[in-house]
């Protein structure tokens, strides 16, 4: 059983003017020859690339100390609704059976598993220390850096020559860091913390080791919806810089309404074993309540601007 599972999800808008259909998405996500892209069509499309592994031999903060870990980080790319692009990286931290480094063949056969080969405290103490330092301290050059691994994977896909680099909405990238512990009958449970404008931290308690894959998918689903909230709020803030009935304002708000509002489906792509976690997030901080408020403001602003344009003929005829 792992001491802890550490993960990172980066979320952004696909740099493409049009949403990708299944065939196009499959070509983009096929990171490995001969490996199929996983795909769901209902209730909204979701494509997930084959999982790849990145070898690591580095330190991992353990409270005020560090532990040397060796193994692999599992990485994958997801595309939701043909629009929302995500890069995910995670690894399970195990206590090594022997306190010495094995050959790479030992580690490469365990995708997404790293072993601590230095002396560490008991399981409970070590797991908590790994989780808290990972979620609260920026990594140093010699430390495990899931953020950089995830970012490299994302940059590789975003630079694909098949993408026209002309997204309909100007949107930034968000990061969601997560740490999961196995708690037996105490789970499942999750808490979300907004660290700053773009970074979020999630602490998970799972009932069983078999729920780890579901935890990764839950965090990706959560990250996608947090990103949608962030982008819509940012679009409204940006639009407020311009006069109420200006064309600049409508040029910001209309694409967000057209391309993003149909993507809101919290929990739709979370495995059943962890779907109940969404109930807590719907109550506090109230994800859908906030989304409904933002989307309503968006529609109201566009409606008022359109009515003003019709009445006063401010915009060009092609508007």
Which secondary-structure segment (H or E) carries 22? helix 22-29
Overall pTM > 0.85 = yes
Q: What is the spatial distance between Cα 78 and Cα 38, in angstroms, rounded to a whole number?
A: 9
pLDDT the model gives residue 33: 67
pLDDT recorded at residue 316: 52
Token pair recorded at residue 76: 């994958």
Closest among 43, 67, 69 to 54, alpha carbons compared: 69
* Residue showing tokens 């998918």: 217
pLDDT score at 315:
47
Which pair of tokens denotes residue 186? 């105490």
Strand-pairing partners, residue 261, are none
- The pLDDT, as a whole number, for residue 178 is 98
Whether the Cβ atoms of residue 39 and residue 47 lie closer than 8 Å to each other: yes
Kind of pairing between the strands at 46-48 and 65-80: antiparallel
Q: CA-CA distances (angstroms) from residue 149 to 78, 168, 193, 214, 259?
A: 15, 27, 22, 21, 29
Q: What is the DSSP letter of 196?
A: S
Q: Over its length of 319 residues, how does the chain's per-residue pLDDT go in tens digits? A: 899 999 999 999 999 999 999 999 999 999 766 678 999 998 899 999 999 999 999 999 998 889 999 999 999 999 999 999 999 999 999 999 888 899 999 999 899 999 999 999 888 899 999 999 999 988 788 899 999 999 999 999 999 999 999 999 999 999 999 999 998 777 799 999 999 999 999 999 999 999 999 999 999 999 999 999 999 999 999 999 998 888 899 999 999 999 999 999 999 999 999 999 999 888 878 899 999 999 999 999 898 888 877 776 644 545 4
The CB density around residue 77, as the number of other CB atoms within 10 Å, is 25
Q: Cα 16 vs. chain centroid, distance in angstroms?
A: 19
């Amino acid at each position: 059983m792992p001491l802890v599972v550490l993960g990172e999800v980066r979320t952004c808008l696909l740099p493409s003017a049009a949403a990708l259909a299944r065939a196009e998405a499959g070509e983009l996500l096929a990171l490995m020859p001969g490996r199929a892209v996983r795909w769901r069509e209902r209730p909204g499309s979701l494509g997930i690339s084959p999982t790849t592994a990145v070898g690591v031999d580095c330190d991992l903060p353990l409270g005020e100390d560090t532990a040397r870990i060796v193994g692999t980080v599992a990485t994958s790319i997801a595309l939701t609704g043909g629009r929302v692009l995500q890069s995910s990286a995670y690894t399970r931290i195990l206590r090594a059976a022997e306190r010495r480094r094995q050959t790479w063949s030992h580690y490469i056969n365990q995708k997404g598993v790293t072993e601590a080969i230095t002396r560490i405290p008991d399981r409970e103490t070590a797991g908590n220390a790994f989780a808290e330092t990972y979620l609260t301290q920026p990594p140093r050059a010699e430390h495990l850096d899931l953020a950089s691994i995830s970012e490299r994977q994302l940059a590789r896909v975003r630079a694909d020559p098949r993408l026209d680099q002309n997204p309909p909405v100007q949107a930034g990238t968000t990061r969601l860091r997560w740490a999961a512990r196995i708690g037996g009958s105490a789970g499942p449970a999750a808490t979300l913390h907004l660290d700053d404008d773009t970074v979020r931290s999630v602490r998970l308690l799972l009932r069983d080791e078999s729920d780890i894959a579901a935890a990764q998918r839950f965090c990706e689903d959560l990250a996608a919806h947090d990103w949608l909230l962030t982008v819509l709020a940012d679009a409204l803030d940006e639009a407020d810089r311009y006069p109420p009935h200006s064309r600049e304002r409508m040029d910001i708000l209309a694409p967000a309404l057209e391309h993003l509002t149909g993507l809101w489906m919290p929990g739709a792509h979370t495995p059943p074993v962890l779907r109940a976690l969404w109930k807590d997030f719907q109550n506090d901080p109230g994800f859908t309540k906030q989304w409904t408020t933002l989307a309503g403001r968006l529609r109201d602003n566009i409606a008022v601007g359109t009515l003003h344009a019709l009445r006063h003929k401010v915009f060009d005829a092609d508007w």
